[in-house]
Chains A and B, each alone.
Chain A
Amino acid sequence: MKIPIRMIGIATTFFWIFLIAFSVSAAYSAKDIQFNFGDPQTGMNADNELFFSLPITIVNRGFYNIGNFNVTSRIADSDGHEITRGSTLISVIRKGEEVTASHDLTFDIDDLLQRDQEYLFNDSEVRIHEAVGLRLAEVIPVQAEANFTLPWGAPLYNFAIGEPQYSAFNTTHFRATVPISFENHAFFDLAGSIQLRMYNNVGTRTGYGETALVAAQHARYDGAVEFYVLISGVTPNGRFEACLFSPLFNYGPWVIPYG
């Protein structure tokens, strides 16, 4: 009986020493892992989607490899519906190694506007969920999560179509000038064109015009659409139907009454 007891004692002591030494060294080496985040880049890809790219550099100066380094970003609207999701995985970061990866997210504004057109006209916010996970020494899973909100600037904030101004063109037509104004609160420049269809109070189309527009981010746009309308069709009130076309998104028609 003495020998088995002694063997159990030796084995237990050996494994305890190994477990404690491994745990302590793994925890200690965690402080020698550095995460550096580079300058985020935004732009437009070939599919006319906005992209967000964040360079991440991981410097592993610890005693052990890092396994399954994983960054996941989820962007959702204010109701919690997912807009986009991106994930970056590095399977192994060896000890003493420095790895740089790019965490990319693409973002289709059309999808967002399909869900809620308020994002086009009103400033709002989007919810961001970030999760960073790794396996310390390739065996101890560690996960950090953060939730925060980012302000969303509407690209057509305070969009307004002014009263049409008429000037005589010939005996049958007026030249109509319709002022358009808005503020681009978005983080991207808006370039494209806007089409206006003018209908009188009996629903007859009286004119049609289009103009190019360029609105830099965080800038106000003031412009006008000029087109010709039949004098006989002009009424004191009616409606406009507007359509916006841009490489990032298309929207419309939306109805704006006048008069």
Chain B
Amino acid sequence: MWKATKATIKGLIAYVIYFFAWSFLSPLSQLIPGLQQMIETFVAIYIVLMVLGELTSGTIYQHFFNAAKALFIIAYMLMSLKGGMFGFSFENVSLMIDLRMFVVIAMLLSLLGLAKSVLQAIDFMNEKAEPRLLKLS
């Protein structure tokens, strides 16, 4: 029950952050077609993975979902931002935004998240493998 509540609260907080951030980004959606759909898809999958990770906390699957979350960020960034060179054309005007630095930082942070998940998984398995002290009554 506690896990479900925690997962719900985390999901809600993530959605509120998205909602707040989107209010700032919404003027750009008029300029960049498909921006809202792209961000919504990302947030939806991210929240699902986060909730699943929370629901499975205390098991090895939690770390699988956390690693999947980090890999998902890397893959989605690469695919949606086309390597960081984000461009579109309107009539005879073309706009190019160079987000490579942003993508590189996001990748590094995602890799850090992935490393953290791997370390957590190792730590989890390590704890499981350690012999427990027998209590003598």
Map CB proximity to B onto A123-152 as digits: 1 under 8 Å, 0 otherwise: 000000000000000011111111110000
- Give the interface segment out of A13-21, A184-192, A201-209, A216-224: A13-21
Map CB proximity to B onto A1-44 as digits: 1 under 8 Å, 0 otherwise: 11011001101100110011001110110110000000000000
Please tell me if B97 contacts chain A, counting CB pairs below 8 Å. yes
Rounded to whole Å, the gap between the CB of A186 and the closest CB of chain B is: 25
Q: For chain A, give the interface size range.
A: 20 to 34
Q: Tell me if B95 and A12 are in contact (CB < 8 A).
A: no
Residue from the list B92, B98, B105, B115 in contact with A19, Cβ < 8 A: B105
Given contacts A5-B123, A140-B97, contact A28 B27 (CB under 8 A): yes
List, in ascending order, chain A residues with CB within 8 A of B37's CB: none
Please tell me if B134 contacts chain A, counting CB pairs below 8 Å. no
Rounded to whole Å, the gap between the CB of B79 and the closest CB of chain A is: 18
Map CB proximity to A onto B83-112 as digits: 1 under 8 Å, 0 otherwise: 000000000111111110110011001001
List, in ascending order, chain B residues with CB within 8 A of A24's CB: 21, 24-25
Q: Tell me if B92 and A148 are in contact (CB < 8 A).
A: yes
Residue from the list B21, B106, B119, B122 in contact with A8, Cβ < 8 A: B119
Q: Which residue of B lies closest to A15 (CB)?
A: B109
Q: Which residue of A lies closest to B28 (CB)?
A: A27
List, in ascending order, chain B residues with CB within 8 A of A12's CB: 109, 112-113, 116
List, in ascending order, chain B residues with CB within 8 A of A147's CB: 92
Given contacts A12-B113, A27-B25, contact A142 B119 (CB under 8 A): no
Given contacts A1-B119, A5-B120, A8-B119, contact A143 B96 (CB under 8 A): yes
Q: Tell me if B116 and A8 are in contact (CB < 8 A).
A: yes
Q: How far is the CA of A4 from the CA of B112 in the complex (A)?
A: 12
Please tell me if B137 contacts chain A, counting CB pairs below 8 Å. no
Q: How far is the CA of A148 from the CA of B25 in the complex (A)?
A: 31
Q: Which residue of A lies closest to B24 (CB)?
A: A28
Q: Tell me if A1 and B126 are in contact (CB < 8 A).
A: yes
List, in ascending order, chain B residues with CB within 8 A of A31's CB: 27-28
Q: How far is the CA of A2 from the CA of B124 in the complex (A)?
A: 10
Given contacts A27-B24, A27-B28, contact A143 B119 (CB under 8 A): no
Q: How far is the CA of A25 from the CA of B97 in the complex (A)?
A: 16
Q: Tell me if B109 and A144 are in contact (CB < 8 A).
A: no
Residue from the list B93, B97, B109, B115 in contact with A141, Cβ < 8 A: B97
Rounded to whole Å, the gap between the CB of B72 and the closest CB of chain A is: 14
Rounded to whole Å, the gap between the CB of B108 and the closest CB of chain A is: 9
List, in ascending order, chain B residues with CB within 8 A of A4's CB: 119
Q: Which residue of A lies closest to B22 (CB)?
A: A24
Given contacts A12-B109, A25-B24, A28-B24, contact A143 B99 (CB under 8 A): no
Rounded to whole Å, the gap between the CB of B27 and the closest CB of chain A is: 5
Q: Tell me if B98 and A28 are in contact (CB < 8 A).
A: no
Q: Tell me if A28 and B25 are in contact (CB < 8 A).
A: yes
Q: How far is the CA of A238 from the CA of B87 in the complex (A)?
A: 62
15 inter-chain pairs at a CB distance below 8 angstroms, sorted by A residue, are A5-B120, A5-B123, A8-B112, A8-B115, A19-B105, A20-B21, A23-B102, A24-B25, A27-B25, A140-B97, A141-B98, A144-B94, A145-B94, A145-B96, A148-B92
User: Told that A1-B119, A5-B119, A143-B95 touch, could you supply 6 new A-B pairs with CB distance under 8 A?
Assistant: A12-B109, A15-B109, A19-B106, A23-B102, A30-B28, A144-B95
